[in-house]
Copies of this chain bind each other. A is one copy, B any other.
Amino acid sequence: MSGGYSFDISYGKMRVPVYRVYATPLEGISAIPESAFTGRPNTLFALEVDVEVFGRNFFPAYEKGDNSNVVATDSMKNFVLRQALSYEGATLEGFLEYLGRNLLAAYSHMEALRVSGRELPFHYVPVPHQERFEQSEVLFSRAHGDYAVASLDLARDEQQHPTLSNHRCGQVGLELFKVTGSSFTRFYRDEYTTLPEREDRPLFIYLDVFWKYGEVADMLAADHQRYVPAEQVRDLLQTVFHEFVSESIQHLVYEMGKRLLDRFPQLAEVSFEAQNRTRDPMAVSSVDERVKVYSDPFPAYGLIKLTLSR
């Protein structure tokens, strides 16, 4: 309470761009049937970092303009960049935990933190090498499709030691178009229904997926044996979409969720946000009925959510 009011405060630095070169390679990953991914060199480890700080010690800045406890967000940015140099691990989640732990160690008046990161994805570029094509070791192509995210909440235990109080990992921004093999029929019809039933629709979805571990030790262990790489999650979702003839997006994400929880017993929960971006049919060939033309739909879109936990 202050001046008769209750308050809730936080502050921090958002979107610090970090390009660390020659980070530790990601190795030791357990293979899964749906994906060829088992590691990456991390030559270019690029991400964008948010730091949000919680604590009632910062309230005098709000109430009285007393900045004596305020760590300038510009200093936080410098802190993030230096931690990126000294980090010796290989994962987004590991870096965020390292950063958060060191922030709490450096600033005793910070009560709790949220540290978040978004991968800035770069793809390897194939170049000719002795009659074959190999990945360049120095040249990378910035991708603007799906990317990994993670968010970790750190607090202090009774001995003031940092403790991981919550976490969420994810891969966001997938955009997947399945040309044939999806339907949407027998839905509820009334006076507001103008959509026709479609036995075979060109299902185009935008998809974000998130997951939580049962034990955070599995996420952070240096051997990576039970680490769940976002690349494998993405490949698994694509495989399910490729294989499964869905009756709806609801049906599809539920199938994806079951497969993820089956494949990764170390996960406690998975969740999905799927946008329906299916294109509109415009013309069909009279010669070959597979041959069709679609175009963009009305801009509003359906959104389907699912959280599945053990």
B303 near A75 (CB under 8 angstroms)? no
Given the known inter-chain contacts A44-B179, A242-B136, A248-B70, please indicate yes or no for A17 contacting B81, CB distance below 8 A.
no
Cα-based distance from A61 to B184 in the complex (angstroms): 11
For A, the interface residue count at a CB cutoff of 8 angstroms equals: 133
A75 near B11 (CB under 8 angstroms)? no
Is A193 at the interface (CB under 8 A from chain B)?
yes
Cα-based distance from A195 to B180 in the complex (angstroms): 31
A264: shortest Cβ distance to chain B, in Å? 14
Given the known inter-chain contacts A145-B144, A184-B67, A307-B8, please indicate yes or no for A22 contacting B288, CB distance below 8 A.
yes
A5 near B310 (CB under 8 angstroms)? yes
Identity of the chain B residue whose Cβ is nearest the Cβ of A301 in the assembled complex: B14
Q: Which of A1-23 contact B (CB under 8 A)?
A: 3-23
Tell which of B15, B75, B126, B181 touches A138, judged by Cβ atoms closer than 8 Å.
B181
Report how many copies the assembly holds. 4
Cα-based distance from A306 to B49 in the complex (angstroms): 21
A190 near B75 (CB under 8 angstroms)? yes
Residues of B within 8 A of A285 (CB): 85
Q: Which of A27-64 contact B (CB under 8 A)?
A: 33-34, 36, 43-44, 52, 58, 61-64
Residues of B within 8 A of A6 (CB): 308-310
Q: Which 4 A-B pairs have the closest CB atoms?
A: A65-B247, A73-B302, A142-B175, A144-B144
Q: A22-B288, A298-B298 are in contact. List 20 more A-B contacts (CB 8 A).
A: A4-B310, A5-B261, A6-B310, A20-B291, A21-B202, A34-B128, A52-B303, A65-B248, A66-B247, A75-B193, A76-B192, A106-B190, A122-B177, A125-B242, A126-B235, A126-B238, A142-B145, A142-B175, A143-B143, A145-B145
Which A residues contact B (CB, under 8 angstroms)? 3-23, 33-34, 36, 43-44, 52, 58, 61-79, 81-82, 84-85, 106, 122, 125-128, 133, 136, 138-146, 174-181, 184-188, 190, 192-195, 202, 204, 235, 238-239, 241-243, 246-248, 250-251, 253-254, 257-258, 261, 271, 275-276, 279, 282-285, 288, 290-296, 298-310
